[in-house]
Amino acid sequence: MTILERPEGIWGAILLPVKDDKIDWVAFEEQVNILCDSSVHGIYTNGTAAECHNQTEDEFDKLSNIVSTIAIKKNKKFQLGLSHTNPRICRERAKRLTPLKPDGFQITLPDWWPPTYQESLNFIMGMQEVVEDTYLILYNPPHAKVLLSLEEISQMNDKAPNLIGIKCAGGDEAWYEKRRYLLGNFSVFVPGHSVVFGKPLGANGSYSNVACFSPNGAVKIWDLIDTDFEKAKQIESRIVNFMKTHILPLATRLSNTGLDKLLACVGGWGPISEKVLWPYEGATLDEVNKIRDIAKKELPELMND
């Protein structure tokens, strides 16, 4: 059996530049090139930030091919997101994209009708059957209809060796102690704004909302954890305060996608606007400009990267 290399570090999300209610493919390619030239440890498609819930299959195939072509050319690790509410479509996507040779696939559990544990295991095993020697990362966010326990994830990993990681909310010190005991040889990715707390306890990296804001800045913080933990902790504290004070209040009107795109637009590192695909609402330019001015004062390290 092939030994799969477990991913770690800061991974940057591919977002969708939107123009006239359509994906701007020229800007999309520019963004992928920028991320591949950045210091992030890898890139990934079709998370929440990339509006995985609102793509046609043609758009899904096109963006996956663009990302794989550029990432392979630039020798950047990449994962392709397969997430879909329909598990059969998710598996067909895996069959189509396995020849693109991604480092891994990200998947979510079936979403329309919450699966039981056995049905969740059936899904994971069925995905493993078609991805050959490509690893699987389960994206199990707080808003998922089924949240797996660490015990359940460990049981799945025993039966499905391609499942080598999870993206989740993380937890407190007791949660990490259980994580170390149950999932020793497993990659655990947590939110970008809690990775300083998590890394010493067993977090292996982040599919980072902070990287939406500043790809290079998120990596700088990741590296600081090992070289100057107190400084890293101080920056993370300011990030958490910035998010709570200026970003999360907008969640009453904006989706997580809208918030991620707002962060990218504020960070200004690539051709990402505040716009999201119909029928969802994005931030306003006034909100972007106001928060950008605040970020320059409160998070100057990230705004300069």
**What's the pLDDT score for residue 3?**
66
Burial 220-247 (b: 16+ CB within 10 A, else e): bbbebbeeeeeebeebbeebeebbeebb
Task: Pick the closest to residue 239 from 217, 265, 261, 223 (CA basis).
Answer: 217
**What's the pLDDT score for residue 5?**
84
Is the CB of residue 38 less than 8 Å from the CB of residue 45?
Answer: no
**What's the pLDDT score for residue 223?**
97
What does the DSSP assignment read for 11-46? Answer: EEEP---EETTEE-HHHHHHHHHHHHHSS-SEEE-S
Stated pTM of the model: 0.95
**What's the pLDDT score for residue 303?**
82
Please list, in sequence order, all residues whose beta carbon lies within 8 angstroms of the beta carbon of residue 180, skipping any fewer than 6 positions away: 201, 202
21 — alpha (psi -120 to 50), left (phi > 0) or beta? left
How many DSSP H helices and E strands does the chain contain? 13, 10
Structure tokens, 136: 């699987």
- pLDDT profile of the chain (305 residues), mean per 10: 81 95 96 98 92 93 98 98 95 97 96 95 97 95 93 96 95 96 95 96 94 96 97 97 96 94 96 94 96 96 77
**What's the pLDDT score for residue 305?**
60
Enumerate domains of the chain plus CATH numbers. 9-217 (3.20.20.70)
